[in-house]
Amino acid sequence: MLPTIWNPNWRRSPGPWTGSQFGSGYLGAMEMIPCTRCGLERERMAFQPFQNEIGKRAFEQICGVCWGEWLKTQQQLINHYSLNLRDTQAKEFLFRNMEQFLFAPPQVGGAPSA
């Protein structure tokens, strides 16, 4: 059994970490954008998700909340269809679904009546 090392000079922190230890502005506010998916003004994503046209479009037009919803849906698609993300067809499938999920106009109402 290893001996326990105890240092009487060890100082406890004054309380829980609040972020203020690094000065104000350490955790700055994200830029607010009008989201094209939900129609609300919310915080932008933290970073551009892909270095292509759809990634740039998503970064400029989609809020972080809607992006989080897409990530959950993407995980469900990957699991349901057992997608191999190294496969180009799987990537194209996810990009098509992402574009439809994020940028398609919302469907209002149900199926048209006959």
pLDDT at 1 exceeding the cut of 90 = no
SS (H, E, C) the chain: CCCCCCCCCCCCCCCCCCCHHHCCCCCCCCCEEECCCCCCEEEECCCCCCCCHHHHHHHHHCEHHHHHHHHHHHHHHHHHHCCCCCCHHHHHHHHHHHHHHHHCCCCCCCCCCC
Q: 15, 36 in Cβ contact below 8 A?
A: no
* Interatomic CA distance for residues 27 and 100, integer angstroms: 33
pTM recorded for the entire structure = 0.68
Distance CA(22)–CA(30), nearest Å, equals: 18
**How confident is the model at residue 30, as a pLDDT?**
75
- Whether residue 5 is predicted with pLDDT greater than 70 in this model: the reply is no
Residue type, position 5, single letter: I
pLDDT of residue 97: 97
What average pLDDT score do residues 42-62 get? 94
